[in-house]
Every structure is written in C-alpha cells, then in structure tokens.
Structure 1
Amino acid sequence: MQLILISGLSGSGKSVALRVLEDAGYYCVDNLPATMLADAIALYSEFGYQHIAISVDTRSAPTLAALPQVVNQLKAGGTDVRLLYLEATSEVLVKRFSETRRRHPLSGNRLTVEECIQLEREMLEHIVDLGHRIDTSNLSANALRSYVKVLAEADSSRLTLVFESFGFKHGIPLDADFVFDVRCLPNPYYDEKLRPLTGRDQAICDFFAGEAEVAQMQQDIASFLQRWLPRFKQDNRSYVTVAIGCTGGQHRSVYLTEQLAAAFADEQVLLRHRQLDGRSSDSHK
C-alpha cells in the first residue's frame, strides 16, 4: 500500500495537493487525527485500497505529537509512506487569507492572522523534516499540481534529488537543503536580444557555453554533490533539494539547474524553476 500524507501550513495549497491525488485515483481523507492513521490504514487494506492520501495538520492539533512515531510504525509494517509538507512565507499566506476572506483554523483563539501563522509553524516544527518540503510562495497552483503528481510517481526506495532555480529578489526558497549563489556569473540580461529569453533557450545556452566561469561554477557544484550525496543516501534521506539562485531566476540559475539535472541523470532527479513555474496566478485554496 502507498500512503501519501499531506501536511503543512494553512493556505499553502494542501487542498490543491489532495485534489490532485484524488484525481489520480487515490482514496483521499481530509483532516484525519494522527492517532487514527494506523487503524485507518488497516481498515482500508481490508477493503482493498492500495493508494491512500490523507491530510494531517493543526486542525487535529492534540494528535500531532504522535505523527513521527505512527509514520515509523507504518513504514516498519511495510507501508510505503511519503509525507509532503507544504509551506509559504508569512507575507504570502496573509495575502492569500485576505484575498479569499477565509478564517485561519487557529483564529478561534482571537489571534491575528500573522499570530496564527507563527503559532502554526511552531506546532508543526517537529514534522517538517519527516518528508519532502514544497515552498508554494511563488508557485502557481498548476505548478503545484504538477509537482505533487510527479512526487507521487517517484520511486520511494531511491533518494530524489531536486534541482530548483530561483531569483534572490523573490526570496530564498524555504524548502532548499543547499543554496548556491550564481549572481557573480556573466548576466545575459544586459543584452537586449537575450533579455526576454530564459536559461532553457538555445541562445542563452550558447551565451553561457563560451564563459569559462560558468563551466567552473557548474563543475564545483557538481563535485560538491558527488562528494556528499552518498552520505545522504547512507542517512536514509528521501529527498535533497539543491537551489540555484541568480538575481531574477530567469537566465543563469535556470541554465545551471538544467545542466546539473542532466549531469545527474543517473540519479532520480526532479527539475523545478520557481520563477518560471510561478508565473500563473491561479488560486492555492
């Protein structure tokens, strides 16, 4: 049986993720207390369900402390358990609650939205590292749907190496394990013909191919990862996210992210471009 747990901050896109999995054929349950997980999985197994998705979050706050232990028990029993933790910056979350006019689940304590978000971060702190984190701050709902679908299909027995480009002027991704700053490299932005293009376009690739510094940066990052990835595998890590940042997240970071993903093709690799993927403005309810 495959069980995907959806958790994270309110307003970060958990409902979007759960609907994606439901459309993909998963039996979905919204807001199940962590202490009921083991019994629920046993029951679903009797009914023949093989793909289950369940959201577990602060709406069932008193049971959250038990989640790490329950996850370990389920894994030990042979269940393929994956946890996706969705988050976003406080500024973005406040804006989303304002736009949708929804109440925060913790607002019953007469807290402001900002206070609710901070409290929720503290309540979820002990489960953040149980699975794969996705920062939806600059991510469109369509991109999130795509990310969740790909992660659900990934081989959980292998480490997943995520390469993610981003722009520093939009903030550092919350889900990054490693961050490499490539703003020191030559910038095609100053060429008016190249400015509207991205690091995936051939003209940009040709521009960087002639720059020795770019090749050296790529080699240095690749060498670092080749040196340390085996240690992460030995530590039974399921995901490692490598974020490559330039100023706007359009040229340098995109190009190097594409090159590094190709260089590590023998690994289980996922490729993301935060600024390019986030250009749609659809909702994260």
Structure 2
Amino acid sequence: MENTKLNIVIITGMSGAGKTVAIQSFEDMGYFTVDNMPPTLIEKFVELLKTPDSKIDKVAMVVDMRSRAFFDHIQSIVTELTDNVSVNFKLLFLDANDSELVSRYKETRRSHPLAIDGRTLDGITKEREILADLKNLAEVVIDTSELTPRNLRAQILQNFSGNTESNFRIEIMSFGFKYGLPLDADLVFDVRFLPNPHYISELRDKNGTDQEVYDYVMEHPQSEAFYQNLMKMLVPILPAYKKEGKSVLTIAFGCTGGQHRSVAFAERVSRMLQKDWHVNTSHRDKDRRKETVNRS
C-alpha cells in the first residue's frame, strides 16, 4: 500500500436521497464499503487502511450527518483527506427536493430520523440546514429527485469508475407475474409456458436454485429449445447494448410466482453469460410465498 494511493469516497447527503443505492454501486465497482461509519472513527480506519498489511486500495463509506457536532468533526476530516498526498479523496453528496423526499418516506412508511416528534418535512428542513455547509465542500453533488436507482448507479459509475471497460453490467433477475412486472427491466421473458414444479408435491416448497427443481425445469424439451434460441438471440446483441453506451442491461425472467421456473432460467443464463460479462443475479420473489405462509 505504501506505493499506491488509497482511494477514499465519503458518501453523505439527505436521508432518503439514495445512499443505500450509492453504497451498493461502489461495492459493484470493487470498493470496500462501510455503511453508517461514525465520523469519529474515520481517522483510525484510514490509518488501518494505510498499513503495509492492508490489501484494500479503494474504500467507500456512508456517513450520516445528523448533528452539528458530527458536522464539525467531519469538516476537519475532509480537509485532512483532501490535503493528504497519499490519498485520492472525493466527497459525494446526494440530494433531492423536499417533495420527493417526503414522498419517499410516505412510500416506505418510515419516520425521518430528525422528525421524532414532528412532521417529516420538519425533519427534512432541519437536516438540510445542518448539511448546507457540507454540501458546499462536496466535489460531486447528485440530485436524485428525478433519478431511478438504475440511473443513479449510472451517474456514480460515470463519476467514480476509472475503468470504462467495466461500466457495462448485466443484471439478471427472476420475478413472479402475480406480484407485478419489474419496472426497471429492459428485456422480459415469460417462462410460464413450461411445466410447473409447483404441482409436484416434493418440489412445491423448493425453488429454482435447488438442484431438484432446476433439473425438473431443464429436463423438458421445450425448456432446452427455449434456452438455445434465447442464447442465439442474446449473445450477439449484448455488445451492441454496450457500444450504445448503456451501463446496465436488466434481463428479467418471469413465471407465475417467481419461485421455480423463472429462478432456474435466471440461474442458467447467468452462469453462461458470466463467462464473458459482469453479471449480477437476483431473485425478487423467490421466497415471497414462504414469507406469506409464515406470516399467516
């Protein structure tokens, strides 16, 4: 580490402005990430990162400023990191307008951390006053009012990824049509035409990541035909999406409940594409039926 500059990004900003999406984006870029880092621990943490035994060369940490005392401390830390010649430091501030923040809190049914006995808007106003000076110190300010999580990730990649070749990423997901279409999907494939493991008693409570379910889905001729034709279409067009400048391509597979067929196909396609592309895999509704049963 003594011959390599340490890359440090501190992520802060308004509560509800997208810090969770931001820290996940940095993790996708290979950063060591820390959520909710207390400002008083940052200096000690940086010292540990700069020791000869440390293998970490880039770190991103979320710091919430919820008191004036915290701000006074972080201000001196920002100055020290900015002046440190052995560190590449950036401060990222995430913002959003008041109406959008209020709307997000209503959607999540959470209370604002600074509005314990008051309205959400009161907490937002108080937080904005506390963070006003810190926002002026930030090298990068992103207003997320009109941004989807995917668009926010794209802006973070644009500002912080030093390797443009890694900017294109494929997100493969499974979902259940009964719970609604994924809003951020670019390509959606319906696999409800395949035989359904739900009607096999020993497979009903398992999912497409279990080998028995995966084998059942894939052993049918129509499954293999669909997969082969799908890959013949997908593989040639992926470079075109990258060339067009798209940072994230989301491919979604849907079945009735998002537990069996869609999961199995998402897993198979992911494994194949991972040979040549950066691929993340998620299963939106894989455990939803189990959670519903448990709640009842």
- Structure 1 residues 96 and 251 mapped into 2: Cα distance closer, same or farther (>3 Å)? same
CA RMSD in angstroms comes to 4.8
Counterpart contact for 2:187–2:252, Cα < 8 Å? yes
Deviation of the 1:173 alpha carbon: 1.9
Residue in 1 aligned with 2:211? 202
In the alignment, the residues of structure 2 paired with residue 247 and residue 9 of structure 1 have an alpha-carbon distance, to the nearest angstrom, of 36
Residue in 1 aligned with 2:110? 97
Bigger-Rg structure (1/2) = 2
Deviation of the 1:20 alpha carbon: 4.1
The answer to whether 1:274 aligns with 2:284 is yes
In the alignment, the residues of structure 2 paired with residue 42 and residue 180 of structure 1 have an alpha-carbon distance, to the nearest angstrom, of 51
Equivalent of 2:222 in 200, 207, 213 = 213
In the alignment, the residues of structure 2 paired with residue 92 and residue 170 of structure 1 have an alpha-carbon distance, to the nearest angstrom, of 22
Q: Secondary structure at the match of 1:203?
A: helix
Deviation of the 1:126 alpha carbon: 5.6
The answer to whether 1:46 aligns with 2:94 is no
Deviation of the 1:16 alpha carbon: 9.5
Q: Secondary structure at the match of 2:285?
A: helix
In the alignment, the residues of structure 2 paired with residue 228 and residue 203 of structure 1 have an alpha-carbon distance, to the nearest angstrom, of 32
Q: Secondary structure at the match of 1:173?
A: coil
Deviation of the 1:276 alpha carbon: 3.2
In the alignment, the residues of structure 2 paired with residue 8 and residue 172 of structure 1 have an alpha-carbon distance, to the nearest angstrom, of 30
TM-score by length of 2: 0.56
- Structure 1 residues 154 and 161 mapped into 2: Cα distance closer, same or farther (>3 Å)? farther
Q: Which runs of 5+ in 2 are unaligned?
A: 1-6, 25-32, 38-57, 66-77, 126-142, 155-159
The answer to whether 1:58 aligns with 2:96 is yes
Q: Secondary structure at the match of 2:202?
A: coil
In the alignment, the residues of structure 2 paired with residue 175 and residue 196 of structure 1 have an alpha-carbon distance, to the nearest angstrom, of 28
Q: Which has the higher contact order (CA 8 A, sep 6+)?
A: 1
Deviation of the 1:204 alpha carbon: 1.0
- Structure 1 residues 204 and 237 mapped into 2: Cα distance closer, same or farther (>3 Å)? same
Q: Secondary structure at the match of 1:249?
A: coil
TM-score by length of 1: 0.57
Q: Secondary structure at the match of 2:109?
A: helix
Aligned residue type for 2:165: S
- Structure 1 residues 252 and 239 mapped into 2: Cα distance closer, same or farther (>3 Å)? same
Report matched runs for 1:104-119 at 5 Å.
104-105=120-121
Equivalent of 1:186 in 195, 217, 222 = 195
In the alignment, the residues of structure 2 paired with residue 244 and residue 9 of structure 1 have an alpha-carbon distance, to the nearest angstrom, of 33
Residue in 2 aligned with 1:10? 16
Residue in 2 aligned with 1:81? none
Q: Which runs of 5+ in 1 are unaligned?
A: 32-40, 62-86, 110-121, 134-151
Deviation of the 1:199 alpha carbon: 0.5
Number of aligned pairs? Answer: 217
- Structure 1 residues 128 and 50 mapped into 2: Cα distance closer, same or farther (>3 Å)? same
